[in-house]
Amino acid sequence: MRRKLRICFIGSGAISTSMGNVISKKGEFEVTLLSVEPDVAKSVNEEHVNPKYFPNVPLHPSLTCTLDRGILRDADIIFFGIPSNIVVSYARENHELFNPEALIVNLAKGFGADHKTIPQGLGKVLDNLIHSMKGPSFAREIINNLPTGFTVVAKRDKYFKVFDEIFRGTSIYLDYSTDVNGVELASILKNIYAIIIGIVDAHFDSPNLRSLVITKSINEMRFIMTRFGGKEETMFKYCGFGDFSLTALNDLSRNRTLGLLIGKGFFTSDISEKVVLEGKIAVNVFVEEIAKKRQIKTKNLMLKELYKVFNQPDYDMANFVNRIISLTP
């Protein structure tokens, strides 16, 4: 009799808890959250509730939580469910604990601390095959078993069938890609353009204008992705248009909310120093570092106009919308 796959989620936050709970309900795998919070671990194990993230949602009794990083040695699949800026450093500090045969899956969206994509950073620290899962995926919806799509991506498709086995029969639906650069960039760029859509909606509640800017956003995302070696068809997977539409059009999105605050004039320099969001970081990284290295001209991109919003104290927000709709790439 084949033993159950051992699945470990690094982190006990919203995304780890919600996805771990979905998988646990199948009853076919050993699923464990690896936490640094003793109170969360105790509550998950004894009361089957994550009190910090889903205090009113009962978790499946088979979902367990541990503080012992030694669990990484025996895990068959290891999901990173921690913030993007600490994924690579966590792997570096604990690399000797990782089962060298385990599949590594990154769930975080954003650049690593060195402004490289997370798979690039993990590939320098771990010898394991690195996968990512990206898609329109609010954890609150996942924990409530609402259908959710993810794109699974890796350089090789050798283990895609494993993901099909894990998620078959759950509320998680998958598509697949070997376009690692394209999928990672889509998950980063969508935060930038969600801010732009938020600003537009703060100024004008106009379906026509919103659709215009959405179209320009998709074209810009496609342009940047392809300049980095990504494939155009990636825009039409869950990680592309799906994730962008979720982030840009739903008020649960932090980056869209940031755009709304900017457009309404509530995002001051004082708040800007205290609030760090993926989209704001990505704008500066793309314009100041990546675009220069790749010789990508940003002058006529909406991305550059948003860069000015964040970096010019006297920027005239009243004309932001007119400026971006008049830009011709």
Domain borders along the chain are: 6-178, 181-326
Mean pLDDT, rounded, of the chain:
91
Average pLDDT (147-172) is 96
For the 181-326 domain, the top CATH level (class) is mainly alpha
Q: What is the pLDDT of residues 167-207, one digit of tens each?
A: 999 999 999 999 999 999 999 999 999 999 999 999 998 99
Q: Is the pTM of this model over 0.85?
A: yes
Q: Are 225 and 237 in contact (CB under 8 A)?
A: no
Name the CATH code of domain 6-178 (choices 3.40.50.300, 3.30.565.10, 3.40.50.1100, 3.40.50.720).
3.40.50.720
Residue 93 in this model has a pLDDT that exceeds 70: yes
Residue 162 in this model has a pLDDT that exceeds 80: yes
